[in-house]
Amino acid sequence: CDPGTCQYEIELPSSKPTTISLSMSPSSHPSTNPSPDLTTVPSTTPSVQLTRQCGCESCTEYILNAMAGDHSCGARINWLQTSEGSSLSELQACTVIGGDEYPDICGACDPATCQYEIE
């Protein structure tokens, strides 16, 4: 609300860090479907299929999180897909960021040159 006309008192955030208290007692809301057994052997395959942006196996979270100037490759690709950014398709945005504007940093997400996913 507008501070000049707001009927509510606005409380400014504290400059002190937030502390989280940990409890050693059990949760008051335990899981309704707990896992019956623990496993000691890790899975050899991910339980969730990872999706790659831009249709590229090489367009990993690492690349999407890489900073290209003041913003990450992924943020730049996502922004170009918004109405403020140009309303490009995902592949068009990936081509602009990975191929044209930031090939050295985001090039693994350029659909024209990347390794495509095999489905």
What H or E segment, with its residue span, contains residue 67?
strand 67-68
Distances (CA, A) of 111 to 2, 72, 91, 99, 103: 46, 18, 7, 8, 12
Among the residue ranges 38-47, 65-74, 108-117, the one predicted with the least confidence is: 38-47
pLDDT at 114: 85
- The pLDDT tens digits of the residues spanning 45-88 come to 555 445 578 999 999 999 999 999 999 999 999 999 999 999 99
pTM surpassing 0.75? Answer: no
- The pLDDT tens digits of the residues spanning 10-21 come to 565 666 666 666
What number of other Cβ atoms are within 10 A of residue 68's Cβ? 20
Nearest to 56 by CA among 119, 102, 110: 110
Among the residue ranges 73-77, 80-84, 91-95, 111-115, the one predicted with the least confidence is: 111-115
Distance from C-alpha of 50 to C-alpha of 17, rounded to nearest angstrom: 35
pLDDT at 5: 57
